[in-house]
């Protein structure tokens, strides 16, 4: 993890960043701390690029244990960061399956509040895990036709 976090002044003054609430700004800084920047390009034309973009992991347990951010607050912060264009969820993990989520730092925030902004939300979980509603039990003769019901004694 990086010792220093470099933040562009335009990000801090952006409408998207100023609209973040709760733990979202703090969580974003923690995400920036997890990125690895490398210089690419020829001498004099180097460009800093996030080497691990799309592979950034930040477990809920780590947010809670190391930074005191409860799971519901962490989830709300991630939702805000995705909705405002600061991060994208590349792979939605599943805590029950020990499958960790992977994130990417995004620049969609630059277009926040304009017609060019690409809206995203947390992907819906379609795996059907967790508690499921049980089908009601069919007890008695309520599902038996009238003709067969007459022969039941």
Instruction: Tell me, yes or no, whether 4 lies in a domain.
Output: no
Is the predicted pLDDT of residue 128 greater than 80, yes or no?
no
Give a yes or no: residue 114 inside a domain.
yes
pLDDT tens, 72-90? 999 999 999 999 999 999 9
pLDDT average, residue stretch 60-82: 95
Q: Does a structural domain hold residue 67?
A: yes
Q: Count of domains in the chain?
A: 1
Tokens describing residue 109: 């925030």
What are the CA-CA distances from residue 37 to residues 9, 33, 48, 49, 51 (Å)?
Answer: 18, 10, 6, 5, 6
For the cut 70, the answer to whether the pLDDT of residue 147 exceeds it is no
2 located within any domain: no
Q: Between these two residues, 94 and 117, which has the higher pLDDT value? A: 117
Q: Which domain holds residue 146?
A: 9-150
Query: Is residue 3 in some structural domain?
Result: no
Residue 1 is assigned to a structural domain of this protein? no
Residue 125 scores a pLDDT above 80? no
């Amino acid at each position: 993890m990086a010792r220093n976090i470099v933040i562009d002044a335009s990000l801090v003054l952006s409408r998207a960043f100023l609209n973040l609430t709760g733990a979202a700004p703090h969580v974003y800084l923690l995400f920036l701390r997890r990125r690895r920047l490398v210089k690419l390009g020829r001498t004099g034309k180097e460009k800093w690029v996030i080497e691990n973009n799309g592979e950034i992991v930040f477990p809920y347990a780590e947010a809670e244990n190391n930074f005191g951010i409860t799971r519901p607050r962490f989830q709300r912060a991630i939702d805000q960061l995705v909705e405002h264009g600061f991060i994208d969820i590349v792979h939605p993990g599943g805590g029950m399956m020990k499958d960790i989520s992977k994130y990417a730092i995004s620049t969609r925030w630059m277009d926040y509040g304009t017609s060019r902004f690409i809206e995203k939300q947390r992907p819906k979980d379609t795996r059907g895990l967790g508690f499921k509603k049980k089908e009601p039990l069919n007890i008695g003769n309520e599902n038996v036709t009238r003709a067969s019901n007459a022969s039941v004694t």
